[in-house]
Structure 1
Amino acid sequence: MAHTDSGVRAVAVLEASKGLLALLVAIGLHAYAGQNLSLLAIDLVTHLHLNPASHYPSIFIAAIGSISQTSLTLMALGAAAYTLVRFIEAYGLWHNLRWTQWFALVSGAIYLPFELYEMVHHFSLLSVIVLLINLAIVLYMFRVLFPRVS
């Protein structure tokens, strides 16, 4: 059972890492709420030594400028909620709570078709890596939950 505990704890660390990343996104979105996003986008584009009037940078600036403050707040709240779910899952996996093992299996399995679609239609090394990591987690959690079947 020791290998199972260390494996489940590794999944817990991954989930906590995803939660931490989402927390940073939520904080970043909250920090920019109430600011003129178009000006921030122009500053970013010029900082990268790009011409704000050229085609792609202007599309980026227009897209960022069209995000409403309400949408920004909702995105920050969504990222915060995702953070909370990931931290709860990580805590439960770390303490070997059965329901979080089920949650990890089901939530990981739900993403597989979307990740497969992304890999097929927008192939990149990142999409392959994300799919393989999630598939490994789903298969591992299946082995943890059903040791006699696997």
Structure 2
Amino acid sequence: MFKLDWDRRTCARRGHLTYAPTEPELNRRLHAATALGDAWRCLRCGDFTLGAPHGSGPADEAPLVPRGKALRDLFILRFLAVERLLRGLLIVVVAWGVWKFSNSQDAVRRVFDENLTVFKPVTDHFHWDLEHSPIVDTIRKTFDYEHKTLLIVAGALLVYALIEIVEAYGLWLGRRWAEYLTVVATAAFLPLEVYELTEHVSALKICTLALNIVAVLWILLSKRLFGLRGGVVAFEAERHSASLLEVEQAAGTVPHGAHAVA
């Protein structure tokens, strides 16, 4: 069965990341002298790579490089970040449209009524009452909204868009505060999405609701938020065990069995 090697895949795209620890024994295990020059073990994939190390210093000051599951999780977070960013930008466009409409309701109403007659021959052919269709009725109701109400709607949409964009920024960088924000904000809008489904069912709404539910559950459990599965202490321990400890294990400083038990 094919299993994606996230470490080597990432190194192939971004390059290796090496570090020369000042501890003599560990330095010797992470370093190799070759006929082509010095080589250092990559902190991400564990392979030796030629060239000077990207950094040096005590082992406990080495960069915390995402590996394995942590790297896969970061990829998923960035997928969610892109989805949040696109959604946020779309909401900004909708907010701009509402604001623009609020300043020219009468003109838009005239254009709508004049052009509605263009579609009547087609709708009459299919025996569809265009004048009293739910879509047309909904659009006409918006013409009666007060200018102040539309401005409030536009402002609320902009706030929502800002939350989505901030989520996207934090998730892309893998920030823990963004994970909390995403869970809280997404969960808060789930009842509204369920209500919209009761009003009108569509494949897009169902997929969006399913994606948001899965995202909330996945972030909650995998990132151990709100104290779940040991909370932040267990999460940080997992991060460190997947980085420096594994590098030391590969270098022979930590027995493989001991790490497996931990």
Aligned-partner Cα distance in 1 for 2:115–2:211: 33
Q: Residues 75 and 44 of structure 1: is their aligned pair in 2 closer, same or farther, counting only changes over 3 Å?
A: farther
Q: Quickly say closer, same or farther: Cα 1:69–1:43, change in 2 above 3 A.
A: farther
Is 2:157 the partner of 1:79?
Answer: yes
Alignment check: 8 A CA contact 1:33 1:69 kept = yes
Q: Which residue of 2 aligns with 1:45?
A: 116
The amino acid across from 1:50 in the alignment is K
Residue 95 of structure 1: how far off its partner (Å): 1.3
- Map Cα deviations across residues 100-127 of structure 1 (whole Å, 9 max, x no partner): 1011112222333443455467544333
Instruction: Identify, as 1 or 2, the structure richer in strand.
Output: 2
Q: Is the 8 A contact 1:19 1:82 kept in 2?
A: yes
1:145 to 207, 215, 223: 223
Name the amino acid aligned to 2:173. Answer: H
Deviations 1:118-150 (Å, cap 9, x if unpaired)? 54675443332122111111122113321983x
Q: Is the 8 A contact 1:5 1:96 kept in 2?
A: yes
Change over 3 Å in CA distance of 1:62–1:122 after alignment to 2: closer
Identity among equivalent positions (%) equals: 26
Q: Which amino acid aligns with 1:23?
A: V
TM-score for both structures, normalised by structure 1: 0.80
Query: Comparing both structures, which one devotes a greater share of its residues to helix?
Result: 1
Which structure: larger Rg?
Answer: 2
Distance in structure 2 (CA, Å) of the matches to 1:40 and 1:144:
52
Cα offsets for 1:70-118 (capped at 9, x unmatched): 1222111111111111111111111111111011112222333443455
Q: Which aligned pairs between 1:1-150 and structure 2 lie closer than 5 A? A: 1-35=70-104, 36=106, 37-43=108-114, 45-46=116-117, 49-50=119-120, 54-56=131-133, 59-60=137-138, 62-119=140-197, 122-146=200-224, 149=229
- CA separation of 1:99 and 1:106: change in aligned 2, threshold 3 A: same
Query: How many residues matched?
Result: 149
- In 1, distance between residues paired with 2:199 and 2:144? 27
Q: Distance between the aligned counterparts of 2:199 and 2:111, measured in 1?
A: 32
Cα separation, 2, equivalents of 1:6 and 1:34? 43
Q: Write the distance in 2 (CA, Å) between the matches of 1:8 and 1:31.
A: 34
Q: Which moved more, 1:34-43 or 1:62-71?
A: 34-43
TM normalised by structure 2 equals: 0.49
Q: Report the alpha carbon displacement of residue 26 of structure 1 after superposing the two structures with TM.
A: 1.2
- 1:96 is paired with a residue of what secondary structure? coil
Q: Secondary structure at the match of 2:120?
A: coil
> How far apart, CA to CA, are the structure 1 residues paired with 2:97 and 2:79?
27
* Relative contact order higher in (CA < 8 Å, ≥ 6 apart): 1
